[in-house]
Chain A
């Protein structure tokens, strides 16, 4: 079974702090994704990566950056955390980029609170 592990379940940070959210997958998947999930807004894609050192913007990249130095690890960075970034953050991975043949495998999320 694919395992996607997010380093923290809960995080509390102060406004203006630099925040790192880490995600590791153990199945040699090509693709990794960061979503945020908010009540009433659903899941929204922040960034994704099809390969090491490659990244693509999703629907809401503003205020975020990402890093993929190794295939199994995908980091989400909040350069200067703000209260409107309080949310549940979900990492996902998939074997291929073609969603018709490769569904997403999600981690259990990091609930980030910015005060």
Chain B
């Protein structure tokens, strides 16, 4: 069955640097991959979605890439700020694109130090 891994449980970086978070999956390529942000005590908030036929997607300081050969998505935050500190989750579909088959990674906790 499909497995999803976010390689780092925690990532610490200095303010102003680019944060890069990794999401790897096994087996078949998903139809799409999503990234969410979760703050302590809150539910996840949707950030970006990238489809299998897209190499890259951008939204303000955020950039997501999708490499079906490496079976990997990278999530970048440029010019990071302490307010970007949160846990970031990736999610992808098991098969068929249905949200009932969406699986989540365990998340990477990002800490941006001033």
Binding partners A and B: yes
Interface 9-residue window, one of A39-47, A62-70, A74-82: A39-47
* Chain A residue at minimal CB-CB distance from B100: A48
Contact of A98 among B41, B42, B45, B97 (CB under 8 A): B97
Chain A residues with Cβ below 8 Å from B34 are: 99, 103-104
Task: Using known A-B contacts A99-B93, A105-B46, A109-B41, determine if residue A58 contacts B100 with beta carbons closer than 8 Å.
Answer: yes
Q: Is the CB of A40 within 8 A of B106?
A: yes
Q: Is the CB of B42 within 8 A of A100?
A: no
- Give Cα A43 to B45, complex, Å: 13
Q: Is the CB of A42 within 8 A of B51?
A: no
Determine whether A90 belongs to the interface, using a CB cutoff of 8 Å to chain B: yes
A-B pair number, CB within 8 angstroms: 65
Find residues 85-110 in chain B having any chain A CB closer than 8 Å to their own CB: 89, 91, 93, 97-100, 102, 104-107
* Chain A residue at minimal CB-CB distance from B42: A108
Find residues 23-78 in chain A having any chain B CB closer than 8 Å to their own CB: 31, 33, 40-43, 45, 48, 50, 56, 58
Contact of A107 among B43, B91, B99 (CB under 8 A): B43
Determine whether B49 belongs to the interface, using a CB cutoff of 8 Å to chain A: yes
Most chain A C-beta atoms within 10 Å of own C-beta, residue among B34, B97, B99: B99
Determine whether B62 belongs to the interface, using a CB cutoff of 8 Å to chain A: no
- Give Cα A33 to B98, complex, Å: 12
* Chain A residue at minimal CB-CB distance from B32: A100
Q: Mark B39-69, 1 if CB is under 8 A from A, else 0.
A: 0011111100101000000000000000000
Task: Using known A-B contacts A42-B107, A43-B89, determine if residue A99 contacts B43 with beta carbons closer than 8 Å.
Answer: no
Determine whether B31 belongs to the interface, using a CB cutoff of 8 Å to chain A: yes
Chain A residues with Cβ below 8 Å from B51 are: 100
Contact of A99 among B42, B44, B99, B107 (CB under 8 A): B99
Chain A residues with Cβ below 8 Å from B46 are: 103-105
Least CB distance, A101 to chain B, in whole angstroms: 9
Chain A residues with Cβ below 8 Å from B102 are: 45, 99, 104
Task: Using known A-B contacts A42-B105, A109-B43, determine if residue A103 contacts B49 with beta carbons closer than 8 Å.
Answer: yes
